[in-house]
A and B are shown apart, each in its own frame.
Chain A
Amino acid sequence: GENVEQHPSTLSVQEGDSAVIKCTYSDSASNYFPWYKQELGKGPQLIIDIRSNVGEKKDQRIAVTLNKTAKHFSLHITETQPEDSAVYFCAARDSGYSTLTFGKGTMLLVSP
């Protein structure tokens, strides 16, 4: 099955800085890569996703890049704000079972 590795496990930045979270996946046939944000005491919420036929996608301060050859994808947050503080999960869609496999999460702390 699919295996997703996520780094770093924690990331501390100053407000206004950029933050980058990286994930690698094992199944070269995976075709869908979403990113979820989980605030304390809540369920994960989709913030951005990318399909395997696209190299980059942007939504305001958030962007995701995908390198299919290297089998890795990254989340970029620019101009970070304290409300960006949360746990972020990457995931990959397993082509064999049509299920999502999640990374172990990154706790992002944005200090004012």
Chain B
Amino acid sequence: NAGVTQTPKFQVLKTGQSMTLQCAQDMNHEYMSWYRQDPGMGLRLIHYSVGAGITDQGEVPNGYNVSRSTTEDFPLRLLSAAPSQTSVYFCASSYSRVRPTDTQYFGPGTRLTVL
């Protein structure tokens, strides 16, 4: 198993550009989520999905879109990049949202800089 994979590892964008951060998992996990990590702010939830075709907003969803057409993939789209979206983005997955002790597995992250 590759676990949770994210591409790209690094990305530089100009203000106003759009892009998609890719996330995939090969563990047949139902639950997938996107976090952003900023210095001194910890990990903040952007969007999450409890299964194919179902998504919901987290704490900081503005400026981001997600979709979940398959169990394996959960891409994060930046519609019009802003400098405030400069951050490290982590994708995570777990088997089920229902069982409270399910371990969340994190990907290696994407470091995004918006100029």
Interface set of A (CB-CB < 8 Å, partner B) = 1, 6, 9, 31-32, 34, 36, 41-46, 49, 51, 89, 93, 98-105
Instruction: Answer whether residue B12 sits at the interface, using C-beta atoms and an 8 A cutoff.
Output: no
Q: How far is the CA of A36 from the CA of B108 in the complex (A)?
A: 14
User: Are B100 and A99 in contact, with the CB atoms below 8 A?
Assistant: no
Q: Contact residue range for chain B? A: 20 to 34
User: Are B104 and A100 in contact, with the CB atoms below 8 A?
Assistant: yes
Question: Which of B13-21, B37-45, B73-81 forms part of the interface with chain A?
Answer: B37-45
CB distance from B95 to the nearest CB of A (A): 13
Q: How far is the CA of A102 from the CA of B101 in the complex (A)?
A: 15
Q: How far is the CA of A101 from the CA of B108 in the complex (A)?
A: 19
Interface set of B (CB-CB < 8 Å, partner A) = 4, 33, 35, 40-45, 48, 58-59, 90, 92, 97-98, 100-101, 103-109
| Among all A-B residue pairs, the 5 with the closest Cβ atoms | A43-B106, A104-B42, A102-B43, A32-B100, A102-B42
CB distance from A108 to the nearest CB of B (A): 15
CB distance from B19 to the nearest CB of A (A): 20
User: Are B97 and A46 in contact, with the CB atoms below 8 A?
Assistant: no
